[in-house]
A = this chain, B = another copy of it.
Amino acid sequence: MKSMMQRMVVVWQKGLNNNMTCRSQSRALNTLKDNYSCQILKSPPLASLDLPDVWTHSSTHYDPPSTQNCTNEQTAAVIDGKSIAEEIRLRIASEVSRMKKSIGQVPGLAVILVGQRKDSQTYVRNKIKACEEAGIKSVMTELPDDCTEDEVLCALSSFNENPSVHGILVQLPLPQHFNEEKILNVVSLEKDVDGFHPLNMGNLAMRGREPLFIPCTPKGCIELLFRSGIEIMGKKAVVIGRSNIVGLPTSLLLQRHHATVSIVHAFTKNPEQITCEADIVVTAVGVPNLVRGSWLKPGAVVIDVGTYPVEDPSCEHGYRLIGDVCYEEAIRVVSAITPVPGGVGPMTIAMLLFNTLHSAKRAYDFT
């Protein structure tokens, strides 16, 4: 889960850093205004407007919840992502076994891991373990931190051409000297089980078109809603965060299911006011306790994609994970909520397996 957060575009800085970033944002804007005032169009070029999302809301400074504004009673059902994911993985395993019996083939997932990041190694290990349990064949290429772009591209090409590989995953983040966009562009569209290719995203966004893959975490969020009997059509949904891998595709997906979607980001004034009108809130920014109880409408449903490690000597690894939502406050207000951990996290891996199976079925024309 942490790797997912590291792949998010959101920048969360406090104090001096934060002020500096705000100043540089404003400087960048002024320079833009000066440079483009004599052009044909008044609108500045898009790329340069791609400012970092810096969250500065004071409510992110978390104090233990007061009981003044909420009852002491927990009203929320806890959406158990772990057991829902488990159930999905069992069904995937049974489909893989049916495929093997029927055509003698199984789905294959290839993972490319560059460098020695401990967290990346853990996530890759978890994915490979999940593949094994479902009967999906996995292969991994490990490359050292100082390898060249060509070495990564070469490994990618070989997986692109290998007919027994149906899904390819480049574990992110890559070491800093790599051009992530260039590398991800090389992943064959038919094997892009992460669904991050812009063509895929365009097809997800456009009516009448269909993406080859739906990105895993957004798909997991929607699945949690469906499995919890929560209707999406006609509901007001707010997505907090607009990252390419969670916020954006989740908003597009909710809209495809006919929710009325608003996207809240670091430049939103009064995010609280917009969020507290939503029937469904999906939050994916990685800012601990950003969403307080007062941000939520009584009876709303909350899907918390954020994860943030906080030190906790009482836990096995010396830390525990918390989400974007102030859980203790939220459970007294909303009707259903995902916990962190054990909510969206397990669903991401289940959806990765699902996409790999789906890709293999398509490759072998197996129904």
Residues of B within 8 A of A202 (CB): 197-203, 205
The distance from the CB of A44 to the nearest CB of chain B, in whole angstroms, is: 8
Are A262 and B265 in contact, with the CB atoms below 8 A?
no
Chain A residues 160 to 214 lying within 8 A of chain B, measured CB to CB, are: 181, 197-211, 214
Cα distance A268–B202 when bound, in Å?
23
How many chain A residues touch B (Cβ–Cβ < 8 Å)? 60
The distance from the CB of A275 to the nearest CB of chain B, in whole angstroms, is: 11
Given A256-B46, A258-B265, A260-B264, is A40 in contact with B198 using a C-beta cutoff of 8 Å?
no
Residues of B within 8 A of A206 (CB): 198, 201, 244, 248
Residue of B nearest to A90 (CB): B40
Chain A residues 29 to 52 lying within 8 A of chain B, measured CB to CB, are: 40-43, 46-47, 49-51
The distance from the CB of A281 to the nearest CB of chain B, in whole angstroms, is: 14
Residue of B nearest to A209 (CB): B198
Q: Which of B91, B199, B256, B274 contacts A198 (CB 8 A)?
A: B199
The distance from the CB of A40 to the nearest CB of chain B, in whole angstroms, is: 4
Are B205 and A205 in contact, with the CB atoms below 8 A?
yes
Are A47 and B210 in contact, with the CB atoms below 8 A?
yes
Q: Which of B244, B260, B262 contacts A269 (CB 8 A)?
A: B260
Are B234 and A268 in contact, with the CB atoms below 8 A?
yes
The interface bits of chain A over 243-268 (1 if a CB of B lies within 8 angstroms of the residue's CB, else 0) are 11000100010011110111111011
Q: Which interface residue of A95, A260, A261 has the most chain B CB atoms within 10 A?
A: A260
Which stretch (A138-146, A149-157, A218-226, A308-316) binds chain B?
A218-226
Residues of B within 8 A of A227 (CB): 42
**Does A233 count as interface, using CB distance less than 8 angstroms?**
yes
**Does A354 count as interface, using CB distance less than 8 angstroms?**
yes
Residues of B within 8 A of A200 (CB): 202
Given A40-B91, A41-B88, A198-B199, is A263 in contact with B268 using a C-beta cutoff of 8 Å?
no
Cα distance A203–B207 when bound, in Å?
16
Cα distance A9–B202 when bound, in Å?
17
Cα distance A252–B49 when bound, in Å?
13
Residue of B nearest to A210 (CB): B47
Q: Which of B181, B223, B234, B257 contacts A209 (CB 8 A)?
A: B181
**Does A127 count as interface, using CB distance less than 8 angstroms?**
no
Q: List 11 A-B contacts (CB under 8 A).
A: A43-B223, A50-B207, A50-B256, A181-B208, A197-B202, A198-B199, A198-B202, A199-B199, A202-B203, A205-B252, A260-B262
Top 8 closest pairs, chain A to chain B, by CB: A202-B202, A198-B202, A42-B226, A201-B202, A262-B262, A258-B267, A260-B268, A40-B91
